[in-house]
C-alpha cells in the first residue's frame, strides 16, 4: 500500500515540479507584489507592506468600470451562448440531410482569427463618413434611427461586445453538445414516447439530464472564459479600452502593466488576485451545484 503510494508520487513528480515552477511560484510572486506598497520597478524598491494596492484598485473608477463590464458580459453571454448552442445542436441532430454541411458552417468561426472576426463586426456595426454599417442599414429599413455601435452609447457597445463574444464561443459549444446528444441512446427517447411524454417533457426530463455533465462543463468553462475576456473587446474597440469605457478586468491588468499609463505591477497584481478570487468563488459554487444536479 505504502509502496504503491510512493510510486504514484514518483510518477507525478515531473508534472508537480512543472506545476510548481510555472503556476505556484508565479502565483506566490503575484501575491508578494500585490502586498508591496509603493513598488518602483526601476529601482526594485518598495516603501512598505500592506493592503494599500487593493484599496487603490478597488477605488479606481476604471477598475470598477472593468468589473461592471466583465460581470455584464459573463451574466449575458454564458446563458445566451449555452442556450443558443443547445438549441442549434438539437436542430442539427434532428435534421437528416446536410447535417455535416451545417456542422461545418457553424464551426467556421472557431477556426477564424479573433481579430479577423472583429473586422467583420466592424463592417457590420461601425459608422464611417461613407456608411452607417450594415446593421444600421437594416435598422433604417425598418424605420429605426441609426445607432453608433462602436463609439456610441454604452448599451450599444455592450450589445456588440456580447453579440461578438457569443458568436466566438458558440461553435465550440455546438461541437461539444452535438456529440453529447449523439451519444444518448435513442431507446430512451423511444421509451419516453411510449410512456406518453410530449416533446418538451422528453427534452426537459430525458435529454437535459442525459447531457448535463457536458452542459455543466460548458457553463463552468464559459464562466471562466468570460471572466478572462479581453481580446474580444480589443478587436472591437481598439487598445484604449478605458477611454472607450469598455475595459474588462484582464484588460485593466494589462493596462496597469504595459498600457500607456502602465508600469504598476503592484496594482496589476492586486487586480489579478481579485479576479482570481472572483473566478475561484464562482467555480466552487458551480461545482457545488453540479455535484448535486449532474448525473455522471
- Give the span between the Cα atoms of 140 and 123, in whole angstroms: 16
What's the min distance (Å) between Cβ of 197 and other proteins? Answer: 5
Could you say whether residue 192 binds other proteins (CB under 8 A)? yes
Q: Taking contact as CB under 8 A, which single stretch among the options 113-121, 133-141, 197-205, 241-249 is the one that binds other proteins? A: 197-205
What's the min distance (Å) between Cβ of 203 and other proteins? Answer: 13
Could you say whether residue 240 binds other proteins (CB under 8 A)? no
**Number of residues engaging other proteins in binding (CB under 8 A):** 19
Among 210, 219, 274, 275, binds other proteins (CB under 8 A): 210
Among 194, 200, 261, 292, binds other proteins (CB under 8 A): 194
φ, ψ for residue 248, nearest 5 deg: -115, 175
Cβ neighbours of 219 (radius 10 Å) = 18
SS3 (DSSP) at 45: strand
Query: What DSSP character marks residue 40?
Result: B
Q: Nearest-CA neighbor of 166 among 249, 226, 208, 119?
A: 226
What's the min distance (Å) between Cβ of 292 and other proteins? Answer: 13
Helices 61-94 and 154-182 sit at what angle, rounded to 10 degrees?
40
What's the min distance (Å) between Cβ of 184 and other proteins? Answer: 10
Could you say whether residue 203 binds other proteins (CB under 8 A)? no
Q: Taking contact as CB under 8 A, which single stretch among the options 17-25, 82-90, 182-190, 272-280 is the one that binds other proteins? A: 182-190
Could you say whether residue 188 binds other proteins (CB under 8 A)? yes
Amino acid at each position: 500500500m505504502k509502496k504503491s503510494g510512493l510510486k504514484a508520487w514518483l510518477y507525478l513528480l515531473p508534472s508537480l515540479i512543472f506545476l510548481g515552477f510555472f503556476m505556484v511560484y508565479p502565483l506566490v510572486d503575484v501575491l508578494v507584489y500585490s502586498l508591496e506598497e509603493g513598488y518602483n520597478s526601476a529601482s526594485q524598491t518598495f516603501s512598505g507592506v500592506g493592503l494599500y494596492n487593493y484599496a487603490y484598485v478597488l477605488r479606481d473608477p476604471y477598475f470598477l468600470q472593468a468589473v461592471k463590464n466583465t460581470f455584464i458580459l459573463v451574466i449575458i453571454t454564458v446563458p445566451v451562448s449555452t442556450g443558443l448552442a443547445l438549441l442549434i445542436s438539437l436542430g442539427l441532430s434532428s435534421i437528416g440531410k446536410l447535417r455535416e454541411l451545417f456542422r461545418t458552417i457553424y464551426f467556421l468561426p472557431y477556426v477564424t482569427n479573433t481579430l479577423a472576426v472583429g473586422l467583420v463586426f466592424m463592417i457590420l456595426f461601425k459608422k464611417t463618413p461613407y456608411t452607417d454599417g450594415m446593421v444600421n442599414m437594416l435598422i433604417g429599413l425598418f424605420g429605426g434611427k441609426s445607432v453608433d455601435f462602436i463609439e456610441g452609447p454604452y448599451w450599444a457597445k455592450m450589445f456588440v461586445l456580447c453579440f461578438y463574444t457569443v458568436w466566438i464561443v458558440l461553435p465550440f459549444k455546438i461541437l461539444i453538445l452535438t456529440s453529447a446528444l449523439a451519444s444518448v441512446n435513442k431507446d430512451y427517447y423511444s421509451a419516453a414516447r411510449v410512456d406518453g411524454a410530449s416533446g418538451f417533457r422528453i427534452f426537459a426530463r430525458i435529454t437535459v439530464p442525459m447531457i448535463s455533465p457536458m452542459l455543466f462543463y460548458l457553463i463552468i468553462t464559459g464562466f471562466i472564459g468570460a471572466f478572462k475576456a479581453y481580446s474580444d473587446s480589443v478587436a472591437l474597440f481598439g487598445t484604449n479600452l478605458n477611454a472607450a469605457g469598455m475595459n474588462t478586468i484582464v484588460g485593466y491588468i494589462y493596462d496597469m502593466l504595459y498600457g500607456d499609463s502602465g508600469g504598476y505591477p503592484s496594482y496589476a497584481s492586486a487586480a489579478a488576485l481579485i479576479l482570481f478570487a472572483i473566478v475561484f468563488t464562482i467555480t466552487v459554487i458551480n461545482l457545488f451545484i453540479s455535484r448535486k444536479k449532474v448525473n455522471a
